[in-house]
Amino acid sequence: MLLRSILLWLVLFVSTGCIAKPRHKVSPVISSNKIVIEAQKRLGKPYKYGAVGPNSYDCSGFVYAVHKSLGITLPRTSLAQSRIRGSKLSRSELSVGDMVFFDTSLKGHVNHTGIYIGNSKFIHASSGKAFSVTISNLNGWYKNKFKWGKHINENK
């Protein structure tokens, strides 16, 4: 009987989230850039392949949704987003709010995207360790995967 009661309490705790895996906490940055402000509203939302929000996102769905909420139309996929009109920017040319593109599989084509927030950091929907919208460092794991950035006129 005691074992049954303990098991019942354990099931209740797990099913109500009391013993849930702790979420990775990321502190937002202070910015006056409207794209960054909008992007940070989604910090911590879970990653889900093919999702465009509002409860979960994949990488290009995140960038697409952030811009759409500001009335900016972008293509849906990271590869198509990387092909929008404009010059390709190097890491040193990035401005806050610019889109950043990566080849995370090192196969020679863009397959990941995010939004540059300054100080060598970007916000993105990660399918990696964080498995959520998070902030990462361009000088870390993504350093040799960065391809280029893109700036759009509405980025003010």
Please identify which of the residues 24, 67, 109, 124 carries the catalytic annotation: 124
Choosing from 18, 59, 67, 151, which is the catalytic residue?
59
Active-site choice (18, 24, 112, 151): 112
Residue 18 bears catalytic tag:
no
67 catalytically annotated:
no
Would you give the end-to-end CA distance of the chain in angstroms?
Answer: 65
124 labelled catalytic: yes
The neighbouring-strand residues paired with 122 are: 116, 136
Structural contact between residues 31 and 37, judged by C-beta atoms closer than 8 angstroms:
yes
For residue 52, what are the contacts with CB-CB under 8 A and spacing of at least 6? 58, 61, 64, 65, 76
Q: What is the dihedral of CA 25, 98, 51, 78, to 10 degrees?
A: -130
Tell me the chain's radius of gyration from C-alpha atoms: 18
Q: Which residues are catalytic?
A: 59, 112, 124
